[in-house]
Amino acid sequence: MDLVIARPEGLYCPPGDFYIDPWRPVERSVITHAHGDHARTGNQHYLAAAAGAGILRARLGQDIDLQTLAYGEPLLHHGVKLSFHPAGHVLGSAQVRMEYGGEVWVASGDYKIEPDGTCAPFEPVRCDTFITESTFGLPIYRWQPQAQVFAEINQWWRANAAADKTSVLFCYSFGKAQRILHGIDASLGPILVHGAVEPLNRVYRESGIYLPPTIYAGEVKKSDPMMRKALVIAPPSAGGSTWMRRFGDYSDGFASGWMRLRGTRRRRGVDRGFVLSDHADWPGLLWAIEQTGAERVMVTHGSVGVLVRHLREQGLDAQSFSTEYGDDEEENAAVEPERAEVLP
Ligand SMILES: [Zn+2]
Ligand SMILES: [Zn+2]
């Protein structure tokens, strides 16, 4: 029996009568993580990993009807044994394990293999059927170790500061921003953040994740000499906006897995592209799929066709699942609401 099927509202578990990351409002939702395309408003009931509660409430409202489980803690619902397991994607991100009638299914949500210190590392879960994302499901996507990317960012920041130029780094404000803050060398200069980033920093800090001290960029005057030595973390939506006028001479960069593609940096019109993704690369996806031991793999958002074909060639029963999940590396970031000027 299929423990998860695709319905117009989202991925649905028939025996459990709940949806996983539904894109239309439903009664019972199980949420893998708080990125906007996976966690939407309007559901009557939310179930999520406890580590993600702060972010979910910050983004969907303090008053949502939210029930949480610690990673690994089982919940029996209509005979379906459900539990969350770390996905290593962003704070609180989880894979959903479902067991019913001797069958085990795991829905991955979004995941990343390399541990980054800002969330619980990805944990492979054995199952019969694995539902995997495929955002970067093409053989060209192979990430460098993140330490190397952080070294590049540090080097760029150091060179800019020596030339009295502000360094403005664009990235998605939830997850990527905190990962960068956690990974860079904070001794190089002051770190300023956009108003969309700071409330999320606060939730990470409250969860015990170390982030270096940050200053709300809106409070710093253009004439302040510290601006020249600063690194500024801002969402892509701030690029080209009036918000940028506070910086005199600056160099800008963009951190995203898409920077792997020639042309993306140019299209974005930024000086530097840093290839840093919160998703598994091609070898990572294949490794994760193999670790589950699953014979059946359902592929969601990304390069679905290519990954399905590759898995079939490996002898697996692979199929595509059409979903309405977006791309949290760039596209969603670009339309992220501008909460620019004031902190809530
Ligand atoms: Zn995501
Ligand atoms: Zn996603």
Please name which ligand lies nearest the alpha carbon of 21. Answer: 2
Looking at residue 266, its pLDDT comes to 79
Looking at residue 88, its pLDDT comes to 98
341, part of any domain:
no
Domain enclosing residue 219, as ranges: 146-274
| Residues 164 and 248 sit within 8 Å (Cβ to Cβ) | no
Q: How far, in Å, from the CA of 221 to the mean position of ligand 1?
A: 34
Q: How far, in Å, from the CA of 317 to the mean position of ligand 2?
A: 22
Domain edge (last residue) among 246, 274, 302: 274
**Whether residue 227 is found in the same domain as residue 160:** yes
Distance from C-alpha of 106 to C-alpha of 80, rounded to nearest angstrom: 12
Q: How far, in Å, from the CA of 131 to the mean position of ligand 2?
A: 12
Banded pLDDT at 341 (limits 50, 70, 90): very low
Q: How far, in Å, from the CA of 83 to the mean position of ligand 1?
A: 19
Report the mean per-residue pLDDT for the chain: 92
Q: How far, in Å, from the CA of 314 to the mean position of ligand 1?
A: 27
Q: How far, in Å, from the CA of 37 to the mean position of ligand 1?
A: 8
Distance from C-alpha of 239 to C-alpha of 325, rounded to nearest angstrom: 24
**pLDDT reading at 239 higher than 80:** yes
**Whether residue 21 is found in the same domain as residue 124:** yes
**Whether residue 121 is found in the same domain as residue 29:** yes
343, part of any domain:
no
**Whether residue 188 is found in the same domain as residue 136:** no
**Whether residue 219 is found in the same domain as residue 197:** yes
**Whether residue 230 is found in the same domain as residue 323:** no
Looking at residue 249, its pLDDT comes to 92
Packing angle of the helix pair 176-183, 146-162 (nearest 10 deg): 70
Q: How far, in Å, from the CA of 327 to the mean position of ligand 1?
A: 8
pLDDT by residue (tens digit) across 93-121?
999 999 999 999 999 999 999 999 999 99
258, part of any domain:
yes
Q: Where are the alpha helices (DSSP H) in 141-263?
A: 146-162, 176-183, 198-206
pLDDT by residue (tens digit) across 167-214?
999 999 999 999 999 999 999 999 999 999 999 999 999 999 999 999
| Residues 136 and 285 sit within 8 Å (Cβ to Cβ) | yes
Q: How far, in Å, from the CA of 315 to the mean position of ligand 2?
A: 26
Least-confidence region, from 38-52, 150-164, 321-335: 321-335
**Whether residue 210 is found in the same domain as residue 154:** yes
Looking at residue 241, its pLDDT comes to 86
124-162 residues labelled b (16+ CB within 10 A) or e (exposed): bbebbbbbbbbbbbbeebebeebeebbebbbebbbebbe
**Whether residue 302 is found in the same domain as residue 249:** no
Domain edge (last residue) among 228, 252, 274: 274
303, part of any domain:
yes
**pLDDT reading at 344 higher than 70:** no
**pLDDT reading at 218 higher than 50:** yes
For the record, the structure tokens of 10 come out as 């989202």
Q: How far, in Å, from the CA of 303 to the mean position of ligand 2?
A: 12
Q: How far, in Å, from the CA of 315 to the mean position of ligand 1?
A: 29
Q: How far, in Å, from the CA of 166 to the mean position of ligand 1?
A: 29
251, part of any domain:
yes
Task: Count how many domains the chain has.
Answer: 2
Banded pLDDT at 242 (limits 50, 70, 90): confident
For the record, the structure tokens of 16 come out as 């459990």
**Whether residue 74 is found in the same domain as residue 190:** no
| Residues 301 and 325 sit within 8 Å (Cβ to Cβ) | yes
**Whether residue 17 is found in the same domain as residue 136:** yes
198, part of any domain:
yes
Distance from C-alpha of 259 to C-alpha of 261, rounded to nearest angstrom: 5
CATH number of domain containing 157? 3.40.50
pLDDT by residue (tens digit) across 259-304?
988 788 777 889 999 999 999 999 999 999 999 999 999 999 888 9
For the record, the structure tokens of 89 come out as 């994607």
55, part of any domain:
yes
Q: How far, in Å, from the CA of 92 to the mean position of ligand 2?
A: 14
Please name which ligand lies nearest the alpha carbon of 133. Answer: 2
**Whether residue 154 is found in the same domain as residue 255:** yes
CATH number of domain containing 119? 3.60.15.10
Query: What angle (nearest 5°) sits at the alpha carbon of residue 296, between those of residues 145 and 99?
Result: 95
Looking at residue 330, its pLDDT comes to 59
181, part of any domain:
yes
Query: What's the maximum distance between 2 C-alpha atoms anywhere in the chain?
Result: 67
Q: What residues have a C-beta under 5 A from ligand 2, the ion?
A: 110, 325
Average pLDDT over every residue of 246-263: 90
Domain edge (last residue) among 225, 242, 274: 274
Q: How far, in Å, from the CA of 243 to the mean position of ligand 1?
A: 26
**Whether residue 21 is found in the same domain as residue 76:** yes
Q: H helices then E strands: how many in the chain?
A: 8, 19
**pLDDT reading at 333 higher than 70:** no
Residues contacting 299, CB < 8 A, separation 6+: 131, 132, 133, 134, 137, 307, 308, 311, 318, 319, 320, 321
